[in-house]
Amino acid sequence: MTALSDVTVAGPFGLAALAGRVPPGCMLTVTGRPVTVTGLLTCTDEHDTWLELLLSGPGGPGWLAVEAPGGRPCCTLWSRRAVPAAGPAAPVPGPGWRTAARGTAEFRSAGTFGSLAIPPAGRLRYVEYERDGARCAAERFASSLPWLLGSGTGVPVAVTAGGPDAGRAHRAAGPTPAGR
């Protein structure tokens, strides 16, 4: 069993290469419960590349973000809800939250995303918020789609890849520092 936290994903392909190990249909164990990857997003902005996986399974859908600060994968489990767009501005989670980061990123998608018709490729907008050490983020994948507003928690994730790596288990531990 290889620990994802021990895998270096630095370099020109980085997390994009890791995306091939967690494609739609891949089975994961997140906080002790089995889930299936139904959708995969590979996102790149001017600073970073990260993965976002839509998961289905017991307890309902969830999102798993995988980032690699310093070349080591870190995972955050996100709970998100769609917020109808009231114009181009991102929704603010509530009083006392301050903007920590904002920007745009190129993305590619694979699989399905429930009722969200996320295109195969495009440019997303994101805003990250902070309050008393807690983090929250909003993302929008097209102007015709709602914003997704959510909060995240760092989690250990055991990954069993499908395809040629079927049956091989990998493990990731640690929260993402920014928690996109």
pLDDT tens digit sequence for 16-32: 667 777 889 988 877 77
Strands 147-154 and 74-83, sheet pairing? antiparallel
pLDDT of 170 above 70:
no
* Confidence at residue 139, expressed as pLDDT on a 0 to 100 scale: 95
pLDDT tens digit sequence for 102-124: 999 999 999 999 989 999 999 99
* Confidence at residue 17, expressed as pLDDT on a 0 to 100 scale: 67
Three-state secondary structure call for residue 102: strand
Q: Are 173 and 166 in contact (CB under 8 A)?
A: no
* Confidence at residue 76, expressed as pLDDT on a 0 to 100 scale: 84
Block residue for tokens 């699989």: 111
Q: What is the DSSP letter of 15?
A: H
pLDDT of 162 above 50:
no
Least confident of 67-76, 79-88, 159-168: 159-168
Domain ranges for the chain, please list them: 2-172
Q: Stretch 122-140: mean pLDDT, rounded?
A: 92
Most confident of 47-56, 119-128, 130-139: 119-128
Distances (CA, A) of 149 to 108, 161, 177: 20, 28, 18
Query: How far is residue 163's CA from residue 143's CA, in Å, rounded to a whole number?
Result: 34
pLDDT > 70: what percent of the chain?
A: 76
* Confidence at residue 15, expressed as pLDDT on a 0 to 100 scale: 67
Strands 33-44 and 49-56, sheet pairing? antiparallel
Which tops the pLDDT comparison, 7 or 108? 108
